[in-house]
Amino acid sequence: MANTPDYSYPPMDKRKVIGQRYKRLDGPMKSSGRAKYSSDLKPPDMLFGAYLHSPYAHAKVTSIDTSDVEKMPGVKAVYVAAPAGTEVNWQGYEIAGVAATTEEIAREAARMIKIEYEVMPHLVKDDDLALAGTRAKQGGERVVGDPDKAFQDADAVSEGQYGIPVVYHCCLEPHGQIIQWKPGTDPDNKSDQIHVWPSTQNVPDYAGSLSQNLKVPATNIKVRMDYIGGGFGSKFTPDAWAIVGANLSKKAGGRPVKLYLDRAPELMIAGNRPSAYAKIKLGGKKDGTITAWQTESWGSGGFQPVNPPAQPYTYANVPNIREVRTTVSLNGGSQRAWRAPGNQQASYLTCCAIEDFAAKIGMDPIEVFKANAQYAARTGAPDTYRYQLDKAAELAEWKKLWHPRGQSGSGTIKRGMGVAIGSWNGNGHRSQCRTVINPDGSVSVEIGSQDLGTGTRTIITQVAAESLGLQMGQVKLVIGNNDLPPDGGSGGSTTVGGVSTSTRKAAINALMKLYEACAPALGAQPEDLEAVDGHIRVKGSPNKSLTWQAACRKLGATSISEMGAHTGQAIPGLVTGGAAGVQIADLSVDTETGIVKMNRYVAVHDCGMVINPRLAESQVYGAVIMGISTALYEERIMDQQTGKTLNPDMEFYKLAGIGDIGNIIVHMDIREENDKRGVIGLGEPPAVPICAAVGNAVANALGVRVPRIPMTPAHVLDTLEGRTA
Amino acid sequence: MQSFEYANPTTVQEAVGLLGAKWGQADVLAGGTDLLSLMKEHLHTPKRVVNIKNIKELEGIQKTADGLRIGALVTMDELSKNSDVVAGYKLLADAAAGIPSPQIRHMGTAGGDLCQRPRCWYYRQGLGLLAMKDGKSLIPDGENRYHSIFGDGPAYFVSASSLGPALVALGAKVKLVSAKGPREVPVAKFFVTPKDEASREIALQPNEILTEIIVPAATVRSATYEMRQKEALDWPLATASVALTMNGNTVTSAKIVLGHVAPTPYESAQAEAALKGKTITAATAEAAGKAAVQNAKPLSQNAYKVTLAKVAVKRALLEAAKAKG
Ligand SMILES: Cc1cc2nc3c(=O)[nH]c(=O)nc-3n(C[C@H](O)[C@H](O)[C@H](O)COP(=O)(O)OP(=O)(O)OC[C@H]3O[C@@H](n4cnc5c(N)ncnc54)[C@H](O)[C@@H]3O)c2cc1C
């Protein structure tokens, strides 16, 4: 039986590269503007694409005539995606694309397409269930235990209403790609070839999805992406724009076509986070233990039904539950995964309801969250939550600054503190890595992943360098195209677990081969060797060693090329799932204006073994900034009279700027017991609790619950002045 | 954007000759921070664009015995930092400084600020300045959280200009020049409430250029207070520009003008009357704020703006009282 190498990581105190705070490798490229995003590229002969989108939320295309436009000078191809008879169910729906020699001609041509619609009735509002009529579909009732009896027996019952609206991903680089579909005219190679430079979270699976649509074999589709300007869950598939772009390219005789969404369609059709609204009733004991939970919730993720998330969130093992969920089908663009899909909404509903219960029984919410940590479903999680609640409270100076709800002094500016929790799985995805060690000592690591901006490049390099006993600069990394060993899409916080495991295995496998090649020279058996500080040496006899270069020369003329694979199953010590987080918002509300200002925000998160604390913290900072923006400002606004989206822009779709964020304190919960679980993803968990923590802090400041996110002057003053929000 | 002819005159005389007799024929281009978006959205489709940035006579701020002359091309940034403006007309410097983002303050001009089109999202989504559908405005039953709280329609947008209220409070005038010659119009009359879709929200005629702003000499204590939710790029929800003429600590006359609450800058005679002969205290400032919104008629979603307008007046007054004359 071949020896299975030991892939386990060295103990925390023995690591040289893993655990170090390296700056991200692509930082200088990005900050100097040298990094080329796909939308920056301009292959020779490139044409510009433009779209015609539906101006209506619900309509049928009755006729479309592109003949005039096809004759316009500069227009090279027109492709109709929604022929006569197509029913469109949201504004912005892709009707047709035009490719032309300039952007201006393409846009003008798209506008000139002759099209007629039969306008149909629409629904675009989701906050009032009464308006939804037959567009609302109620799911069955879910009952756990005996909620009626539990409410009867409860020492106290609290009730509240909560709402969190549809928000956008707002990727800075919009959705789209440059794509070239070359007909197979070469007598030796008759099959069509496609080259695509997309903005995608999923380089490895992109060709497979495209081939199904275009009927070109996936082997003939070359996908390449070096940098991406944000995805947040909305960029997994090639989408309509790739199909339209490809067809335009084909019609234009194989010239590459650049087709990216403008900002308005980017917001309207390229994904959003579903809304969730709920009435929640909680019953429990005076000591803070919750015994009964009742939820009536509804929400919408666009035209296709999407249920609001189950309640209670994370503390799922509350013994008595009644829940009815309703989904509303709207004439609006479809939802897509949004950085921990379902979880912000779930956390907002649950954590606000828990804070309202804490206020009802006059208890400190930190204590109430601790009293109910037992209900966290994952093994080990209750202890983690208790620890992190205390840690977050300490960092936020909770004991000093928190006050019972509404007891925030007599001034017009009221300070408030709010706490919330989150959870996420983050298990590593399937991944394959190839490690090549060359006789000259150079090392390359090849993996068909992408760096979503999360630091994937840096952490793969760290794992490889650590595993080979080398420094960061000695490992060359290749990612970002589909000729490389297949990896998974960067979603679900699964990337770091996947790539770290396959990289670790490939590097160790390659090292085993190197040990075999240099064992004779060291007069030792391969299994007695170790790679440390750029040397291959005999364990226990550090002076019996070869430098890395000398060791590699023993390979003669043949490079080592070894694979490492991760199947997606958790491997204790290497990779697993299940992370917790606790966050506290500290803010001030001007009670005369309803304007909320962030003072300080504390985020405490665990993610198993942390490969690079700086990059881990970066994920948390980014998520908290994005979350504060949603908590205070962001909201899709649609007009029921016309079906139009009124703020598909960055002016009235309000985003926070750096001056709006306050001071963020990130604490990575790096403890031996977390470390030994293995690597867990972190992209999503810190994005979860923010709306809840902010909402709770506002309630704490004002002494009354402002039900709806975002915490705008309108919502705050409407609550304070007794108007129904 | 529709194709257009681009003209680059160097004198006002030349420029006015290039303008049209009707809206839609030509548009003046100053900083372009608004015009470019209007053109990209096909809300303005001029056949000719007349760039006025090469016209030297439209630049600069001059202090004269009669007051200040502010060239149409003076940027928000210049206006917010000019020592004469800061020293004598704090409310105007405040208003210019409040306009968000260094890019907009450096590109946007004083003339462009007064002539910019409303930001009403129905208008910007192509549903018309008055957002009329079947003879009725969409706004009262629609998404009106940022709309006007004064007046009876049919216009419900709010005047976008931050300089407008400050200039009305100062009793300033604008000089409008056409091929036929110049005319001067008080800023208070420059902003108008359009009654139909074909009208504009300013008194400028399509064949005219706004060449300068004339601010009378005044000894006032003044301030502009803006209600903005965000620090980053954002529009005010309500503003108040106040100019107080004082005798010692007593207000002899007050100008109180609200912004972003009506289709024009909204001067409140009630608030002005409430202050006459008073000293500025928390109580009188509060009372003036209340008086200022006495005639407010909020729409379905914007009652909160009544509170914001009231508090803006109060806070502007308290700030002005602290400021030097
Ligand atoms: C996100 C954002 C936030 C903003 N916030 C504010 C704010 O808080 N307060 C505020 O006041 N403004 C705000 N602005 C608007 C900004 O101040 C204006 O866009 C700017 O002042 C316009 O000046 P400009 O020189 O760029 O005008 P342009 O875009 O060149 O022109 C605007 C309009 O005025 C006409 N015009 C310009 N100059 C003249 C002239 N001399 N004579 C005749 N017609 C002329 C043009 O034909 C055009 O119709 C904001 C803008 C943005 C994008």
> Residue A1: which pLDDT band, with cuts at 50, 70 and 90?
very low
| CA A651 to ligand 1: nearest atom | 1
Give me the pLDDT at residue B323, please. 75
- Look at residues A544, A564, A584, A580 and name the one whose alpha carbon lies nearest to residue A445: A564
Amino acid, single-letter form, for residue A69: V
Contact status, residue B232 vs residue A658, Cβ threshold 8 Å: yes
Give me the pLDDT at residue A556, please. 96
How far from the centroid of its chain's Cα atoms is residue A242's Cα?
Answer: 22
The DSSP annotation for A301-329 comes to -SSS--PPPPSS-S-TT-SEEEEEEEEE-
- Look at residues A611, A622, A614, A566 and name the one whose alpha carbon lies nearest to residue A459: A611
Mean pLDDT of A28-39: 96
CA distance A2 to A362: 64
Mean pLDDT of A537-553: 96
A421 has pLDDT over 60:
yes
Instruction: Say yes or no: do domains A16-33+427-566 and A340-426+577-720 share a fold.
Output: yes
With beta carbons under 8 A apart, name residues in chain B contacting A714.
145, 301-302, 304
B297 has pLDDT over 60:
yes
Q: The pTM is what?
A: 0.97
Region of poorest pLDDT, from A175-189, A513-527, B248-262: A175-189
Amino acid, single-letter form, for residue A113: I
A725 has pLDDT over 70:
no
DSSP class of residue A219 equals G
Give me the pLDDT at residue B49, please. 98
A350 has pLDDT over 80:
yes
With beta carbons under 8 A apart, name residues in chain A contacting B2.
108
In tens, the pLDDT along A442-488 reads 999 999 999 999 999 999 999 999 999 999 999 999 999 999 999 99
The DSSP annotation for A224-290 comes to B-S--S--TTS-SS-HHHHHHHHHHHHHTTS--EEEE--HHHHHHHS-EEPPEEEEEEEEE-TTS-E
In tens, the pLDDT along A643-688 reads 999 999 999 999 999 999 999 999 999 999 999 999 999 999 999 9
- The single residue listed with the structure tokens 């060291």 is A522
In tens, the pLDDT along A369-385 reads 999 999 999 999 999 99
ipTM of the complex model: 0.97
A415 has pLDDT over 50:
yes
Cross-chain residue pair B234–A654, CB shorter than 8 Å: yes
DSSP class of residue B202 equals B
Q: A227 — phi, psi (to 5°)?
A: -140, 150
B265 lines ligand 1 (CB under 6 A): no
Cα–ligand 1 centroid distance for A652 (angstroms) = 17
B260 has pLDDT over 90:
yes
Q: Identify the residue among A170, A267, A592, A698 best suited for mutation to test binding to B, counting B beta carbons within 10 A and taking the highest.
A: A592
- Look at residues B247, B252, B243 and name the one whose alpha carbon lies nearest to residue B217: B243
B209 lines ligand 1 (CB under 6 A): yes
Architecture (CATH level 2) of domain A38-121+175-260: Alpha-Beta Complex (3.90)
The closest CB to that of B307, out of A632, A644, A717, belongs to A717
Give me the pLDDT at residue A187, please. 77
Percentage of chain A lying above the pLDDT 90 cut: 97
Percentage of chain B lying above the pLDDT 70 cut: 99
Give me the pLDDT at residue B324, please. 60
Give the gap in angstroms from C-alpha B229 to the nearest C-alpha of chain A.
6
DSSP class of residue A485 equals P
Alpha helices in A523-553 (DSSP H): 548-553
Contact status, residue A271 vs residue A298, Cβ threshold 8 Å: no
Report chain A's mean pLDDT, rounded to a whole number.
97
For chain A, the domains span 16-33+427-566, 38-121+175-260, 340-426+577-720
Lay out the sheet containing B181-186: strands in order across. B61-64, B67-71, B209-216, B173-178, B181-186
Mean pLDDT of A268-290: 98
In tens, the pLDDT along B126-147 reads 999 999 999 999 999 999 999 9
CA distance A104 to A590: 47
Considering the domain A16-33+427-566 in this protein, what is its CATH number? 3.30.365.10
Output the CA angle A306-A308-A310, nearest 5 degrees: 125
CA distance A612 to A608: 12
In tens, the pLDDT along B278-288 reads 999 999 999 99
Considering the domain A340-426+577-720 in this protein, what is its CATH number? 3.30.365.10
In tens, the pLDDT along B6-17 reads 999 999 999 999
A298 has pLDDT over 60:
yes
Contact status, residue A378 vs residue A680, Cβ threshold 8 Å: no
Give me the pLDDT at residue B67, please. 94
Q: A677 — phi, psi (to 5°)?
A: -75, -20
B46 has pLDDT over 80:
yes
Q: Which of B1, B4, B18, B28 to mutate to test the pocket of ligand 1 (most atoms within 8 A of CB)?
A: B28
Give the gap in angstroms from C-alpha A435 to the nearest C-alpha of chain B.
46
CB neighbours (10 Å) of residue A6?
8
Cα–ligand 1 centroid distance for B104 (angstroms) = 9
Give me the pLDDT at residue A3, please. 65
Give me the pLDDT at residue A406, please. 84
Q: Please, which residues bridge with residue A278 across strands?
A: A162, A297
Contact status, residue B14 vs residue B56, Cβ threshold 8 Å: no
The closest CB to that of B229, out of A639, A712, A723, belongs to A712
Give me the pLDDT at residue A2, please. 52
SS (H, E, C) A89-157: CCCCCEEEEEEECCHHHHHHHHHHCEEEEEECCCCCCCCCHHHHHHHEEEEEEEEECCHHHHHHHCCEE
